[in-house]
Amino acid sequence: MAEKNMKDLTTGSPMRLVLSFMLPLLFGMIFQQFYNMVDTVVVGKFLGVQALAGVGSTGSINFLVLGLCNGICAGFAIPVAQKFGQRDFDGLRKFVGNMIWLSVFFAVVITAVTTIWCRRFLLWMNTPEDTFQYAYDYIFLIFLGIPATMLYNLLSGIIRSLGDSRTPLFFLIFSSLLNVALDIVCIVALGMGVAGAGWATLLSQLISGVLCLRHMAVHFPVLKLNGEDLRPNGSYIGRLLAMGLPMGMQYSITAIGSILLQTAVNTLGASAMAAMTAGGKVNMFAVCPFDAIGSTAATFAGQNIGAGKPERVHQGVRDASILGIAYSAVILVVLCFCGGELTTIFLDPSDAEAANVIIPMSRQFLLCNAIFYVPLLYVNLLRFTIQGLGFSNLAVIAGVFEMVARGVFGLCLVPFFGFDAVCFANPAAWIMADIFLFPAYYACLKKRGYRPQRRFRARTQKAHS
């Protein structure tokens, strides 16, 4: 069954392979956003605007910490994809064995640091007093569930590296539905407040991760490890750290800019916080295809570089660009006509403040972001391709560009231009990152042996023959 699940991305039409691999990823990300959204919907509808603002204000610090965890796991999976492309299954298993030890270490350390310093983080972000306890009750439990989050992301990353993007989808769907049920039980039935949303997320991720582990042990015999595979090895650990830490740092550095921006938004009051929360949630759904394209690009590049086919990597980038640009045009039209209505999922339109202030602000935030979705496409596509090529350290630099842009807007422009500056902070960050990523991508591809003139000569010779 494992052989049926695994997919070789080194042969066949890149467009077809990108699409077939990306679609399950996309559905999985949509479901992941769905169960994240349920927390927000239930909180906003049943606990009010201040509770919604409190939960929403944790988004940037949530991204900082969980982005670090998810980036580490994603980076660990890249050597597995490269070994799969090389058909070196012994080396593949040794990488998996060593990443287990590293993941346990990082899960314990990150959980301890974040739960102990959670309250200080929120104080540093100038979280308003009327929303502070809501924010703390929610984010503390999310941090407590970091081991469960890393368990699922590590296993799903390994499985996707083998070309199987469908199995993680099934477990995400299950986790999403379970999270919905637990949200309703904990918040509505048991009256646990925003802490109920945290418990629902923690438990659903833990159960999903355990079931994913059991499935992988039964259905992927290529991953069956022996004592030698589980023995710590310095060269494998070094390679994993060289890939995982830069990817994790890239997310965290990017998130520092988001925290600076969120800190500035917190000074604008609960209405601005709620508007950014509602608009941001809709935006997260809208950008799922870009995230799916990025994750696909990392696996596609990893396998094809492992197989010594840099030309296919570039072809995959071109085909993914076509898909992403077409989607950007469609979703911009949708949000122009329906953006304001979509934010009412999280807000009560019968409330005067929501109808007259928050919903219009949310729509403004959405449209200002949607106009610049093509730069966001290339942030994901090029950054993940560079990582798949084996240059994760460069992703950190792209994250620095994003951090600086959001920091400038948050610290320098929001105090003068208010919510208008908030709306253009993300687009500025995406454009700044692209300024670095385009030349970096071509430089990395060239280092991996890509020579476009060879393809041109081959076509010319074929035309003359």
End-to-end C-alpha distance for the chain, whole angstroms: 46
Does residue 464 form part of some domain?
Answer: no
Kindly state whether residue 75 falls inside one of the protein's structural domains: yes
Q: Give the torsion through C-alpha atoms of 286, 290, 296, 301, to 10 deg.
A: 180
What pLDDT, on a 0 to 100 scale, did the predictor assign at position 2?
Answer: 45
Amino acid at 292: A
Alpha carbon distance 356, 198 (integer Å): 30
Question: What DSSP designation does 223 have?
Answer: G
Dihedral of CA atoms 175, 181, 184, 187 in degrees, nearest 10, equals: -50
- 89-92: long-range pairs with CB below 8 Å, 24+: 89/222, 92/222
119/204 Cα distance (integer angstroms): 24
Residues 404 and 257 sit within 8 Å (Cβ to Cβ):
yes
Contact indicator for 115, 173 with CB cutoff of 8 Å: no
* Average confidence (pLDDT) over 378-387: 91
- pLDDT tens for 3-50 read 455 666 778 888 888 888 788 778 777 776 776 666 667 777 677 767
pLDDT of amino acid 379: 93
| Torsion over CA: 171, 384, 255, 341 (sign) | negative
Complete DSSP assignment for 431-447: HHHHHHHHHHHHHHHHH
At residue 55, does pLDDT exceed 90? no
Q: How is residue 217 written in tokens? A: 């042990």
Rg (CA), the chain: 22
Inside any domain, residue 34:
yes
Instruction: Write out the two tokens for 71.
Output: 């980036």
pLDDT of 129 over the 90 cut: no
CA torsion angle 247 252 257 260 (round to 10): 180
Residue 98 lies in a domain: yes
On the 0-12 / 13-18 / 19+ scale of CB atoms within 10 A, 194 is buried
Residue 33 Cα to chain centre, angstroms: 10
* Ranges 91-100, 124-133, 232-241: which has the least confidence: 124-133
What value does the mean pLDDT take over residues 286-307? 86
Q: By residue range, what is the domain housing residue 76? A: 2-458
Q: What element of type H or E holds 414?
A: helix 414-417
Per-residue confidence (pLDDT) for residue 36, from 0 to 100:
66
Asked if residue 82 belongs to a domain, the reply is: yes
CA-CA distance, 330 to 434, in Å (whole number)? 22
Distance between CA atoms of residues 140 and 149, nearest Å: 14
Give tens-digit pLDDT for 349-374.
666 666 677 888 888 999 999 999 99
CA separation for the pair 447, 464 (Å, rounded): 30
130 falls in which pLDDT band (50, 70, 90)? confident
Query: Per mean pLDDT, which range of 105-119, 252-266, 294-308 is the poorest?
Result: 252-266
Q: How many CB atoms sit inside 10 A of residue 34's CB?
A: 18
Beta strands in 92-147 (DSSP E): none
The answer on pLDDT for 343 being more than 80 is no
Rounded to an integer, what distance in angstroms lies between the CA atom of residue 285 and that of residue 208? 21
pLDDT in tens, 156-198: 888 877 777 777 778 878 887 888 888 888 888 888 878 887 8
Please, is 348 exposed, middle or buried when counting C-beta atoms within 10 Å of its C-beta (0-12, 13-18, 19+)?
middle
Does residue 389 belong to any structural domain of this protein? yes
Range of lowest pLDDT (340-344, 428-432, 440-444): 340-344
Whether residue 339 lies inside any domain: the answer is yes
Q: How far apart are CA 152 and CA 391, in angstroms?
A: 25
Q: How many domains does the chain fold into?
A: 1
Domain membership of residue 211 (yes or no) is yes
